[in-house]
């Protein structure tokens, strides 16, 4: 009986050493700071706090010096030019509609981040479902010239976008070239701005 208990004790110690070694190995391999990990776990489990990690909502790609990933709080920050409660004229094939949006100007993001490559002249909005605005628009003649009329909207009528968000591209009809409908450039669930 004593031999059996001794064997169980030895096996338990071997398992504990192996688990400890594997844990330390993985913390080192994955470059996890053990103290920060324990502190975050304590705050989550004991204090009931959940760490907030924001997801990227829009990516700017294409002819840029580096791809830019933006979270919702970054888009809403004072770092960029904010437009609040502006009435936008959105024209469909049937008739014009007027909506009040708040958002950030596309040009202020591009200008502040200074990521445009030489030769970048156009932009296209792309939704999470793959829908693309019909034609690339001119950065200079649309986004820069009509800066306050080309926004990445996060609110409509003072409320967060619901089924069409969290971000939606909005362009006032005055900024659209003749023969186009501004509604085609109002892309729901905007995921990407591609620079060409």
Q: How confident is the model at residue 11 (pLDDT cuts 50, 70, 90)?
A: confident
3-class secondary-structure state, position 106: helix
Q: What is the dihedral of CA 139, 77, 58, 92, to 10 degrees?
A: -60
Mean pLDDT is lowest, of 45-49, 64-68, 97-101, for 45-49
**By the 8 A CB rule, do 165 and 187 touch?**
no
Beta bridge partners of 97: 90
Where are the domains positioned within the chain? Answer: 2-45, 56-195
Question: What letters, b where the CB count within 10 A reaches 16 and e where it falls short, cover 112-123?
Answer: ebebbeeebebb
Reported as a single tens digit per residue, the pLDDT across 68-99 is 999 999 999 999 999 999 999 999 888 899 99
Tell me which CATH code domain 56-195 carries.
Answer: 3.90.420.10
Give the pair of three-digit tokens for residue 126.
């792309």
Q: What is the reported pTM?
A: 0.72
Burial label, 153 (beta-carbon count in 10 A; 0-12, 13-18, 19+): buried
Q: How confident is the model at residue 51 (pLDDT cuts 50, 70, 90)?
A: very low
Sole residue written with tokens 């064997």: 7
Q: What is the dihedral of CA 68, 143, 179, 85, to 10 degrees?
A: 100
More confident residue, 3 or 157: 157
Give the pair of three-digit tokens for residue 65.
């010096």
């Amino acid at each position: 009986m004593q031999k059996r208990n001794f064997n169980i004790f030895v096996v338990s110690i071997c398992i504990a050493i192996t688990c400890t070694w594997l844990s330390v190995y993985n913390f080192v391999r994955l470059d996890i700071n053990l103290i920060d990990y324990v502190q975050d776990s304590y705050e989550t489990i004991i204090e009931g706090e959940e760490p907030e990690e924001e997801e990227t909502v829009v990516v700017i790609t294409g002819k840029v010096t580096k791809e830019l990933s933006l979270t919702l709080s970054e888009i809403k920050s004072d770092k960029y030019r904010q437009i609040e409660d502006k009435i936008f004229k959105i024209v469909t094939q049937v008739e014009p509609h007027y909506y009040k949006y708040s958002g950030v100007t596309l040009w202020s993001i591009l200008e502040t981040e200074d990521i445009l490559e030489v030769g970048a002249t156009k932009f296209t909005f792309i939704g999470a479902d793959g829908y693309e605005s019909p034609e690339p628009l001119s950065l200079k003649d649309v986004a820069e010239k009509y800066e306050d009329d080309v926004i990445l909207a996060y609110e409509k009528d003072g409320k967060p976008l619901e089924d069409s968000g969290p971000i939606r591209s909005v362009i006032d009809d005055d900024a659209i070239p003749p023969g186009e409908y501004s509604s085609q450039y109002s892309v729901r669930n905007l995921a990407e701005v591609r620079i060409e």
